[in-house]
Amino acid sequence: MRWILSLSLCVSSLYAQGIPRQEYQKRRADLRKTLDGVMVLFGAVESDDLHAGFFQESSFLYLSGWREPGAVIMLTPKEEIFFVPPRDTHQELYTGRKLGAEDADAVEKTGFAKVLPKAALESQFLRLMETSNRIYTLPGDRDAQKLRALAVFHDSGDAEKALGRLRMIKSPAEIALIEHASDVTVAAHLEAWKKLHAGQYEYQIAAVMTNVYFERGCERSAYMPIVGSGPNSTILHYSSNKRRADAGEVVLMDVGAECSDYATDVTRTVPVSGKFTPRQREIYEIVLGAQKAAIAAVKPGVRIRENLYRIAYDYINTHGKDANGDALGKYFTHGLTHHVGLDVHDLSDNNVPLEAGMVITIEPGVYIPEENIGVRIEDTLLVTPNGAKNLSGALPREVQEIEKLVGK
């Protein structure tokens, strides 16, 4: 309890300032201690696609906090170099001025002691490879693979695995941002419940929710909002959101905000008309029981697949039947949990048991297409030294509480 209280005090003060510069520097220092070669990370580049703005690649952002396009980070056990692309004054008319390596404040703004033009990338890479045996890159990074072709006889390292082990443990500043995203998301769900009624279209429900967190300064949805009514509640990643929600159905709302770069993941399933049918309530209570059982088991040392998933699956498979009298386990068709952070499905190493400071979801579900009933209940949790803190726990889960709030 004392650990949670002290963390809560840190969270309230840290949200206002985001991630401090020193934390990015410490992350790089901790990562460099694990390397036995050169790591090369390419940041995101600007796109001509006008559907979305620029968002930095998450691992690049994790190590630098840098939000301009086209930069590159190069790390070794002893060095760290930041490369920036040449300025394009014409493009800057549209997107604003960018940093140049020649700028007098380049070191101060980037937080890197060594800032070079991107034109020096290959020469610096070859210099560092003379005393290195391994090259760490992210899978699928084509720019890094082109650079790697200059040192074909060196071993390959997995940058994603090295970064995943660091990113799994959240700092107080990160936890503060995830908690804020969760609070805003809870408000979005509650607003949707209040306005929910039969005849409403799924996209209208989604709009109510996204408007709440956009109005509160969050930059985007953590993932495409999923609002599935009736038969669509049984489709795991349904995102068309075009159907009309009718009386007597349930609507599954898997919607989460991304605020100051950090995500959350929250799902509730509620009755469109404000009251569950007996069968809907039966399935809902089974899923809720499975979630409660899994959450109760969350603590350091527990393994996600071997322990938590098995607890939830066994609960579902031993409670209730389908129309043919078969157990419901076969209708739990996805995993139980994933890590949450800069990405809603954050980098992680599934071979590592839970530790205090990790942030995960618990999200059992039962989806029965022949009955047009899909129920998922999902919360984002912080693993503590003795258990877990439900960061989205302010959003009701009990049937009676939900029925009091929907349509009211």
Closest CA to 366 of 356, 358, 376, 357: 376
295: CB partners within 8 A, 6+ apart: 362, 379, 381, 388, 390
Identify the pLDDT of residue 49: 80
Domains, the chain, in order of start with CATH, read 20-167 (3.40.350.10), 172-405 (3.90.230.10)
Confidence check: pLDDT of 66 > 50: yes
Q: What's the start-to-end Cα distance of the chain, in Å?
A: 35
pLDDT of residue 7: 44
CA dihedral defined by 276, 282, 287, 291, rounded to 10 degrees?
A: 90
List Cβ neighbours of 38 (8 Å cut-off, separation of 6 or more): 74, 75, 76, 125, 128, 129, 132, 134, 135, 136
What is the per-residue pLDDT for 152? 85
Q: What is the pLDDT of residue 407?
A: 87
Q: What is the pLDDT of residue 183?
A: 98
* Three-class SS state of 116: strand
Average pLDDT over residues 348-374: 96
Residue 6 is predicted with a pLDDT of: 44
Q: Does 119 have pLDDT greater than 80?
A: yes
Question: pLDDT tens digits, residue range 143-182?
Answer: 998 998 898 888 999 999 999 999 999 999 999 999 999 9
- Which one-letter amino acid corresponds to residue 136? Y
Question: Six-digit token pair at 285?
Answer: 């209570």
* Average pLDDT over the chain, rounded to an integer: 94
pLDDT of residue 5: 38
Question: 367 near 377, Cβ under 8 Å?
Answer: no
pLDDT tens for 39-54 read: 999 999 988 787 778 9
Which pLDDT band holds residue 4 (cuts at 50, 70, 90)?
A: very low
What pLDDT is stored for residue 12 in this prediction? 39
What pLDDT, on a 0 to 100 scale, did the predictor assign at position 47? 82
The confidence band for 1, taking pLDDT boundaries of 50, 70 and 90, is very low
More confident residue, 350 or 406: 406
Task: Quote the pLDDT of residue 351.
Answer: 85
Answer yes or no: is pLDDT of 371 > 50.
yes
Residue 13 has pLDDT above 60, yes or no: no
Instruction: Return the number of other C-beta atoms located less than 10 Å from residue 126's C-beta.
Output: 12
For position 17, what pLDDT does the model report?
A: 53
362 touches 337 (CB < 8 A): yes
Query: What's the pLDDT at 153?
Result: 86
More confident residue, 350 or 125: 125
pLDDT of residue 48: 79
Say whether 287 sits in a helix, a strand or coil. Answer: helix
Q: What number is the average pLDDT over the span 287-314? A: 97
The pTM score is 0.94
Q: What is the pLDDT of residue 11?
A: 41
Q: What token pair was written down for 391? A: 């960061």
14 pLDDT more than 70: no
Residue 363 pLDDT more than 90?
yes
Q: Find the DSSP H helices in 298-355.
A: 310-317
- The SS3 of residue 217 is coil
Residue 255 confidence (pLDDT) above 80? yes
